[in-house]
Amino acid sequence: MFTDTYMCRSAAEGIYPLRDMFPHFIAPAAPALGGLCLASRCTSHCPPGAGLDPLTLSESLSFEALPFYANTEDFYRKRALIYGRSKRRMTQLIRDARAVIVRVHHAMGADIARIARNEKKPLMAYWAGATVFDTSRSNYPGIHPKHFAARLLARWKHIQHRRIAAIADWNFFIDPVEYEEMGAPLRSQWVLPNLVEDHDIVSSATERRSERLEVVFAGRIYRHKGIFELLDAVKALTASGRMIRLRYAGDGPHFGELKDRIVKERLEGAVELVGPLRRDRLLPFLREADVFVLPSYGEGLPKTLWEAWASGLACILTPVGAIPTHVADGEDGMLVPVGSVSALAAAIDRLYVDEQFRLALATAGMDRARRHTWDREIAAIVEGVLAVAAPPHFKGETAL
């Protein structure tokens, strides 16, 4: 399986994803598939203590490191070099596999699909929940030449992705909107990359521990995650006398700018930067809070939403990517317009004053998490893969 996950390798900690939990989500499928090889970009230069839990490799689960690039912009600056260094190894991996799965947001997704077709291997596409064009419009909305070029490139990638959906033997979708935009391919299956297990879900939502409302953000500290709008909303609420504490968990390119803003606005007493947390620390961190907020400009289907639901939190999000498909506004979450500080402040304030509504949202979210646990979704994916990779394709080799 080809994924675009930012992977790290160290002698002390082994191989681990820096921030994307997908490798941990798909790893349990390896034994049932008769073997799974994860192939992704990988670097040995990672900040100490950062990243998620290491992958547990085994006879059925292996990892293949491909040339590293830091982000999409970095990839396109070095595309000829990266593709040149990757092509031979990708081709050999595909030849050795009985079937190929590609996460379609992969920078080389179209290249991987073409090689798989040339090698006459069963091809499955796993869709992320937000089209590359929609994400580009959210992240690069300006008139700067760089923004225009990013949107033009995204349009070209969008056409490539529709082609992948058409030629794939099977498609795994999580978002009906993306499904329609990819031409509604007939050979498709619905999945949900939920990252919680039954034992992760708390027994019940808890009442507030004090008058102060505990609000958390967990994700990349990146401008397009809405981090500054969230800060401004909490600033307005605390100025009006509301007792609120906001805690950010994560790291990213705008961590320093966010820290400076907190100091400049004199919000150190109300806002805390926790830094990156691995999953064994993230779940306890979430369980200490009352409200989870993710006011992103663009998403697929965020994994932290499921972890927040499992932790008994009321959730506030923006209606981007696959979120509106899975969050019923006012029932198991609240949806606010992208970039609106006033709407975000109003949503947080409602949860501050209406404890019964907050508990109702949290309880409904927990119920949704219980309906889509990790084991159930993995079983559905395995069933789909084996149906495509069954004889005459199956020869006992590893699924890639």
Give the mean pLDDT of 42-71. Answer: 85
In this predicted model, what pLDDT tens digit does every residue of 177-208 receive, in sequence order? 788 889 999 889 888 766 677 788 898 888 88
Q: Which residue has the tokens 């299956």?
A: 189
Q: Do the beta carbons of residue 293 and residue 344 sit within 8 Å?
A: yes
Question: Which of the pair, 76 or 254, is modelled with greater confidence?
Answer: 254
For residue 338, the 8-state DSSP code is T
The lowest-confidence range among 3-7, 61-65, 345-349 is: 3-7
| Higher-scoring residue by pLDDT: 253, 244 | 244
Q: What pLDDT score was predicted for residue 133? A: 54
193 vs 350, residue with greater confidence: 350
Residue written as tokens 């947001």?
105
Mean predicted confidence (pLDDT) in 240-262: 95
Tokens representing 295 are 């006011």
Lowest-pLDDT range of 38-52, 97-111, 355-369, 381-395: 381-395
Return the percentage of the chain with pLDDT > 70, whole number: 92
Q: How far apart are CA 16 and CA 171, in angstroms?
A: 27
Look at residue 130 in the predicted model and tell me its pLDDT. 61
Higher pLDDT, 229 or 81: 229
DSSP string over 157-207: HHHHHHHHHHH-SEEEES-HHHHHHTT--SSEEE-------GGGS-SSPPP
Query: 49 falls in which pLDDT band (50, 70, 90)?
Result: low
Query: How high is the pLDDT of residue 194?
Result: 61
Residue 313 pLDDT exceeds 80: yes
- The residue with greater pLDDT, 90 or 71, is 90
- Mean per-residue pLDDT over the chain, rounded: 87
Q: How confident is the model at residue 331 (pLDDT cuts 50, 70, 90)?
A: very high
Q: What is the mean pLDDT of residues 60-89?
A: 87
What's the pLDDT at 258?
97
Q: Which residue would you say has higher pLDDT here, 386 or 213?
A: 213
Predicted pLDDT at 50:
66
Strand partners, 382: none
Better pLDDT: 234 or 17: 234
Are 64 and 38 within 8 A, CB to CB? yes
The answer on pLDDT for 15 being more than 50 is yes
Question: pLDDT value at position 47?
Answer: 67
In this prediction, residue 359 carries a pLDDT of 97
β-sheet bridge partners, residue 218: 249
pLDDT at 396: 38
For the CA atoms of 278, 283, 288, 294, the dihedral, rounded to the nearest 10 degrees, stands at 80
pLDDT at 24: 85
Please say whether the beta carbons of 338 and 295 come within 8 A.
yes
CB 115 within 8 A of CB 109: no
Q: Is 125 helix (H, G, I), strand (E, B) or coil?
A: strand
CB half-sphere exposure, 75, CA atoms < 13 A: 16
Domains and CATH numbers, the chain: 7-194+374-389 (3.40.50.2000), 198-371 (3.40.50.2000)
Q: Please report the pLDDT score of residue 92 as a whole number.
A: 95
Per-residue pLDDT for 222 more than 60?
A: yes
pLDDT of residue 397: 43
Residues 131-185: tens digit of each pLDDT: 555 665 666 677 777 777 767 777 888 888 899 999 999 999 887 778 888 999 9
pLDDT of res. 197: 77
For residue 392, is pLDDT > 60? no
What's the rounded mean pLDDT across residues 58-67? 93
Q: What is the pLDDT of residues 261-312, one digit of tens each?
A: 999 999 999 999 999 887 778 999 999 999 999 999 988 788 899 999 999 9
Nearest partner of 317 among 297, 293, 341, judged by Cα: 293
